[in-house]
Amino acid sequence: MKNNVKFEIMTEDKSAAINSLIVRHVAKYFPAFTIQKHTGFWIGACEKSLTIVIVTPPKNRATVYEVAAKIKCFGRQDCVLVVETKVKTEFI
C-alpha cells in the first residue's frame, strides 16, 4: 500500500462553463480525479456545490493548492475549502 493524501477542493457549482474550465485545469496536473456535485451551505445560504477529489503523493501538495487558487479565480469565489486526509491506497 502507498501513503498518499486525499485532497478535497470544495467550491460553488457556478455553471457548466466554469465546471469545464475546472475540469480542464485539474486534468493538466492530475491524470485521475473525481468531481462530486452536491448541495452545500455557505454563511447560511444553500448553494449548488462541487468537490474535486484528488488522491496523490504528499509531494504534490503545492500543486493542489495552486489548482485550488485557480478554481477560486474561475468561480470568482471569496474562498474555496481544501481538506487534506492522509490515506493508504492500493490498486487491485
The answer to whether residue 4 scores a pLDDT higher than 90 is yes
| Residue 75 domain-assigned (yes or no) | yes
| Residue 90 domain-assigned (yes or no) | no
CA–CA separation, 38 vs 61, rounded Å?
25
| Residue 35 domain-assigned (yes or no) | yes
How many independent structural domains does the chain possess? 1
CATH number at residue 73: 3.30.70.120
Q: Which domain holds residue 28?
A: 2-79
- Regarding pTM above 0.85, the answer is yes
Could you give the 3-state DSSP secondary structure of residue 44?
coil
| Residue 89 domain-assigned (yes or no) | no
Distance of CA 21 to the CA centre of its chain: 13
Buried b (16+ CB within 10 A) or exposed e, 19-37: bebbeebbeeebeebeeee
Which pLDDT does position 46 carry in this prediction? 95
Which pLDDT does position 42 carry in this prediction? 86
| Residue 52 domain-assigned (yes or no) | yes
| Residue 30 domain-assigned (yes or no) | yes
